[in-house]
Amino acid sequence: MENIITVIMAAGKGTRMKTNKSKVVHKIYGKELVTRVVDLAERIGSDEIVAVVGHQKESVEEVLKGRVKFVEQKELLGTGHALMQAVPYLEGKKGKVVILYGDVPLIREDTLRKLINKSETESEYATLLTAIYDNPTGYGRIIRDIDGRVTEIVEEKDATDEQRKIREINSGIYCFDIPELLLAIKEITPNNAQGEYYLTDVIKIMSEKGLKTGALIVEDNTEILGVNDRIQLELLTRVLRMRINTEHMKNGVTIEDSNCTYIYDDVKIGRDTVIHPNTTIKDGVVIGENCEIGPNAYIREGCIIENNAKVGSFVELKKTKVGEGSKVPHLSYMGDCEIGKNVNIGCGTITCNYDGAEKHKTKIGDDSFIGSNVNLVAPVNVGKNVVVAAGSTITDDVPDNALSIARQRQLNKEGWSIKNKKTKKK
Ligand code: UD1
Ligand code: CA
């Protein structure tokens, strides 16, 4: 494959977000919009990634530093002007440049690969990603000639009434041949309704030169959704949620209510596992087959849940391994904990993993039974086949096969209440 340089436009203002930082550093599912775009650029094998920053650039630089090259667009004079800032990274290069937007994070890797592939196999100098919209208002319209070849993109504000009826719109995502793009952007002028340098003008410039241009129509329009306000931010979160949940369901996971099941990126879940509502599963968690999770479970980063395990209601887990067949059925916090196989963790049991300065580990051996409302003060090791009495506060290691009771003996003072109540009445 040829050299690929990806340019990410992220200089825009985001006025409607009403934010003190760049809109592209707002998060969906815990990850900044622009970080998702950079992830994507890396996954398609970009040799270089250039981010065009401007408005609130410090916030963008902070989240992307070390991963991309930055160029600054000091004045927002349009998408063509934005790309001009990246010219130093394109000059003298052969191959393709892919244009992405910092606020359009849900494009599928597969779609971009198809776009690049189309530009290569069909020898196109510009390949656009387009979509068919029922209501195309506001978008650039795709003009094709009688043979269906793309000849031009006309912005809404510059379009004739006839052109406004066109329902094929420009997503703003493209793959260009680098040398020809560099020639074409020199010819862009701001002679249009908005007085901007339109990147879209390069299509007309190229096609008038006789250079082949084409378009790939995206199958799933949600891929090209962008974020301009917090309502769209929520919409994209919802789209991503459904996309991730659908993938798990296709793989044999039962999700009782997809609307309130929040599975973050790169989670693995085995077959026949059932996820009850109001469950959150953070990035990278691994869950085995035939497990039961939730309702109201919060499984944070670094957790591994093995086959046939149960993590029930109001249970929070962090950096915890739940061994095969083990159960944490209700009201527990297990952090930095390694739970063996066939362990039962009683209701209300918690690990006290943090001493105010550092986190410490708890280990619980196979076949152990931890009674209700036990505090496991880490670092602590509970052996195999142990029984810990309910209400215990375990500060010392427990050997295999032991019963551990760490609470005060109960004292019953007979007749105390009658006497005490009488004294009070006097
Ligand atoms: C652009 C396209 C339009 C397309 C639409 C898709 C042009 C002229 N028009 O519209 O055909 O349908 O995207 O959403 O390209 N940006 C900068 N610097 C600038 C201007 C924009 O970095 O000077 C960034 C913005 O932050 C944003 C992206 O470019 O991420 C698109 O800008 P926006 O103003 O939303 O797009 P339009 O120009 O309206
Ligand atoms: Ca408790």
Cα of 205 vs centre of ligand 1, distance in Å, is: 19
What ligand is nearest to the CA atom of residue 197?
A: 1
Cβ atoms within 10 Å, residue 313:
16
- Range 223-247 average pLDDT: 98
- The Cα–Cα gap between 253 and 239 comes to 19
pLDDT for the residue 411: 95
What ligand is nearest to the CA atom of residue 346?
A: 2
- Rounded to two decimals, the pTM is 0.94
CATH topology of domain 4-224: Spore Coat Polysaccharide Biosynthesis Protein SpsA; Chain A (3.90.550)
pLDDT for the residue 426: 57
- The Cα–Cα gap between 371 and 393 comes to 11
Average pLDDT, the chain: 97
The ranges of the chain annotated as CATH 2.160.10.10 are 251-404
User: For the ranges 193-197, 266-270, 306-310, 419-423, which has the lowest average pLDDT?
Assistant: 419-423
Best mutation site among 74, 79, 137, 166 for ligand 1, i.e. most ligand atoms within 8 A of its Cβ? Answer: 79
- The Cα–Cα gap between 205 and 199 comes to 11
Atom of ligand 1 nearest to the CA of 104: 30
Ligand 1 pocket check for 73: Cβ under 6 Å: yes
What ligand is nearest to the CA atom of residue 101?
A: 1
* pLDDT at 247 exceeding the cut of 70: yes
Atom of ligand 1 nearest to the CA of 101: 30
- Range 78-87 average pLDDT: 98
* pLDDT at 259 exceeding the cut of 70: yes
Quick check: is 330 catalytic? yes
Atom of ligand 1 nearest to the CA of 13: 26
* pLDDT at 291 exceeding the cut of 90: yes
* pLDDT, tens only, 85-142: 999 999 999 999 999 999 999 999 999 999 999 999 999 999 999 999 999 999 999 9
Cβ atoms within 10 Å, residue 9:
26
pLDDT for the residue 1: 56
Atom of ligand 1 nearest to the CA of 139: 12
* pLDDT, tens only, 408-424: 999 999 999 988 887 76
Ligand 1 pocket check for 119: Cβ under 6 Å: no
Place of tokens 């919060």: 298
Ligand 1 pocket check for 101: Cβ under 6 Å: yes
Cα of 127 vs centre of ligand 1, distance in Å, is: 17
The ranges of the chain annotated as CATH 3.90.550.10 are 4-224
Establish whether the linkage from the previous residue to 379 is cis, with ω within 30° of 0. yes
Rg (CA), the chain: 29
Q: What is the DSSP letter of 128?
A: E
Tokens linked to 422? 């009488």
Return the closest-CA partner of residue 212 out of 129, 123, 146, 141.
123
Cα of 144 vs centre of ligand 2, distance in Å, is: 68
- Range 208-237 average pLDDT: 98
Atom of ligand 1 nearest to the CA of 169: 12
Superfamily for 251-404?
Hexapeptide repeat proteins (2.160.10.10)
Ligand 1 pocket check for 153: Cβ under 6 Å: yes
User: Is residue 385 a contact partner of residue 398, using CB atoms and an 8 Å limit?
Assistant: no
- The Cα–Cα gap between 234 and 219 comes to 22
What ligand is nearest to the CA atom of residue 371?
A: 2
Cα of 346 vs centre of ligand 2, distance in Å, is: 10
Ligand 1 pocket check for 9: Cβ under 6 Å: yes
Q: What is the DSSP letter of 276?
A: -
Percent of the chain with pLDDT over 90: 97
Q: What is the DSSP letter of 244?
A: H
Of the listed 81, 248, 276, 330, which one is catalytic?
330
Cα of 269 vs centre of ligand 1, distance in Å, is: 38
